[in-house]
Amino acid sequence: MSDKIVTINSRKYDGHIRRSWNGGLIHEDDNLLILVGKFSEEIIHNDLGQIKAGTVSFEHFWIDRWYNVFRFHEPDGTLKAHYVNITMPPTFTNGVIDYVDLDIDVIAWPDGRVDVLDRDDFEHNRVKYGYTDEVVRQAEEGLSAVLALIEAAGLP
């Protein structure tokens, strides 16, 4: 784990924090932040299933992209999956990454399967929070970009 600990806040469109956690910053440049985290205990994730204690997550946040990518590795080092959140571009200030999660998720499994999840949540929250036409357009373009990256085997 890195010496520089960063707080990550996943927010809803109205600004409230949905989930918050810490990660170790292992790469930072003008456009990309990469963090690493290790699960200290087992959890059951709605989409990924069992995440064992010792699972490592490499978290990629691009300052100019409408998605982030989490690469999960089992405790023995094998790839569990890539989990992609369609989001508004993050901000990074004073050791805190803040981003707005726009509900759509993509899982790219090691066997080649791809699951696009939570489109219904996106449509529901589009109305509930009043996503602008520009946010909807950028989210759809972000999803298309992610699917193209997966097709080209270009996920980190």
CATH code of the domain covering residue 137: 2.40.380.10
Each of the 156 residues of the chain gets a pLDDT tens digit; together they read 567 999 999 999 999 999 999 999 999 999 999 999 999 999 999 999 999 999 999 999 999 999 999 999 999 999 999 999 999 999 999 999 999 999 999 999 999 999 999 999 999 999 999 999 999 999 999 999 999 999 999 999
Q: Which domain holds residue 74?
A: 5-151
pTM of the entire predicted model: 0.95
Residue 33 lies in a domain: yes
Whether residue 108 is contained in a domain is answered as yes
Structural domain contains residue 18? yes
- Amino acid of residue 5: I
Give Cβ neighbours of residue 2 (< 8 Å, ≥ 6 apart).
Answer: 24, 25, 26, 35, 36
Report if residue 136 sits inside a domain.
yes
Residue 31 resides in a domain: yes
Q: Scanning the structure block, which residue is given the tokens 């097709």?
A: 151
Q: Is residue 14 part of a domain?
A: yes
Domain-located, residue 156: no
Cα distance between residue 120 and residue 42, in whole Å: 28
Q: Report the pLDDT value the prediction gives residue 107, as an integer from 0 to 100.
A: 98
Number of structural domains (the chain) is 1
User: Which residue type, as a one-letter code, is found at position 29?
Assistant: D
**For residue range 76-115, what is the model confidence (pLDDT) as tens digits?**
999 999 999 999 999 999 999 999 999 999 999 999 999 9
Cα angle 63-68-69, degrees, rounded to a multiple of 5: 135
